[in-house]
Amino acid sequence: MFPLLALFLSCQAFFAGAVTISRVEPSSWWVGMKNKTLQVMVYGPNIAKSVPTCKYPGVTLKEVARTDNPNYLFIYVEIAANTKPGTVAIRFTQGNQSQTYNYQLKARTDKSGALGFNTSDVLYLITPDRFANGNPANDNWDGVNVDRSNPDARHGGDLSGVSKNLDFIKDLGFTTVWFNPVQENKMPRGSYHGYAITDFYKIDPRFGSNEEFRDLTKTMHAKGLKVVMDMIFNHCGLAHPWMTDKPAKDWINNPDIYVQTNHAKLTAMDPYAAKKERDILLDGWFVPDMPDLNQRNRHLATYLIQNSIWWIEYARIDGIRQDTHPYPDYAFMARWCKEVMVEYPNFNIVGEVWYGKPGEVAWWQHGSALNKNNSYLKTVMDFPLTFTAEKAFEKTGNERGSEASGMYQLYEVIAQDFLYENPNNILTFLDNHDTGRFNRKDDDNLDRFKQAFAFLLTTRGIPQIYYGTEILMVGAKSEGDGQIRKDYPGGWEGDKSNAFTPDGRTEKQNEAFNYLRRLLQWRKTNEAVTTGKLIHYAPHESNVYVYARVKGNKTVLVMLNASGRDQALDMDRFTDVTANFTGGRDVITGKQITPDQGKVTVPARGQYILELN
């Protein structure tokens, strides 16, 4: 009944010549922005037939753009530097009919946040639907119900659940939380993961409201935590209103026939790539439920850029992780990165550049000598290190190392940092929401876990850890994405166990949790690790990887023994960083490690993190 009534009223308005405005985006803006030009997208029946005007001190109507769809208008205004906050009356006139929209220009009073993230931070990646359900009242919406028995359905986690566990996250030692997408996914099956956005300006009601998200970021900042927001510019959800009434014919790539992207990401930089191959990468759809957006449409490009800036200013988030970074139009993505960083110089953007080799990832970093067209992307994701680390810490039992050993492969990836414009601006991780969990069901002890995180939290770059890693959550990619995004035990009322508390964890889980917590809390206090120089030694013979982090008179020496036997290392080899070596305190155990006849013995499958005397 109600949809029919809405259609009837819309038709009445059309035939009566009335001006009807259904939607305005962005709904508000701020004075004092460095970019003085604002685009306002207006949607309504035949709104393009109207003539917009506005009179407000400091606001100038620069352009009124119409497309092939009469239901859209794109208004471009210039906001002078001295413009005062207030209400801008935009009048839409069609014949003898008119309607006024009161557009709010706000003051930029909140100076918190927008801090960016760097090597002093460690990111905690959360899939909100699977972390904790703090408000069961918002579970079911738009005909999509919670079903925790289905790994691919909505489970009910929300912003309130995160808010209630902020002290847990901070106490564990994290400085930053990266949220998988929290914007509206009004998809028929729910789209729990968040990557099929149906409203770029709205928090999904199953997570909470815009106001709740803004309040959450304020609370997190007050606790000393930063916020990173996942964004997707390559595609939207199939149920986005754009798909039933496109703002322009070229708003979506391949709108009339489904073309699947070839995922041939190398074509983005391959000098010999065929145009057809590159076009399929850029313009093909990721999956049938995610239409590919055409960022070459200038109105859409500006819309997306403004949307990210709107969220930064509205919620004062500290960073953005951009999904599928190589898939959208390259020139647009470079423009976006540049405009965001001009507006917020301390901000940081990390792009998902999923490649297997360091040179391929390095090509995407801001200022790369490998790429003549600057991407302006500050931080890239170190997938090559992830793939190498997955096998590097295996229980190999090797008595001696070689160039085929896991430690040497790890060393080799780090040694190729000469390819990066800035090796510090690299996001390092062992797993995330798209890969199999690093922890495995058949790990009979914590040797692999401990050695891997000793490495991750002391090597170069910005570490990221996936939620549940601290309690040894497992899940193989081959089992489906739902299995690598399981519910955090204790996040739901009635859960059999509560892993947010020591009593709710097993002995093995507590051992892993306490080990990781010790490293995370220590890392925050040690500048040699967070900002110091990295010096390493090739693990040619012993299969022991040794490296140091050095800053001023502070040195941290890391020894990772991947072999199946104790290794006695002659400390004379490491005099670059251990001159007059008398020993050091092992951060993990607190014990003093001293040389015996000039040698230090590293236990089989063990590690030392030594703060040198």
CA 420, 423, 425, 429: dihedral to nearest 10 degrees?
Answer: 110
Q: How far apart are CA 550 and CA 453, in angstroms?
A: 19
CA atoms lying within 13 Å on the CB side of residue 63: 10
Of 212, 283, 318, 352, the active-site residue reads 352
Backbone phi, psi, residue 371, to 5° = -125, 115
DSSP 166-203: HHHHHHHT--EEEEPP-EE---TT--TTS-S-SEEEEE
Catalytic-role residue among 121, 204, 230, 323: 323
The pair of structure tokens assigned to 440 is 């495995």
Is 352 one of the annotated active-site residues of the chain? Answer: yes
Catalytic site includes residue 339? no
Nearest CA to 235 out of 178, 188, 197 is that of 197
Contacts 24+ apart (CB under 8 A), 300-303: 300/247, 300/248, 300/251, 301/329, 301/332, 301/335, 301/336, 302/39, 303/25, 303/39, 303/41, 303/200
Task: Annotate 498-526 with b (16+ C-beta within 10 A) or e (fewer).
Answer: ebbeeebbeeebbbbbebbeebbebbeeb
3-state DSSP assignment of residue 231? strand
Inter-axis angle of helices 383-392 and 406-415, nearest 10? 160
**Token pair recorded at residue 362:** 């390095």
**Positions marked active-site:** 323, 352
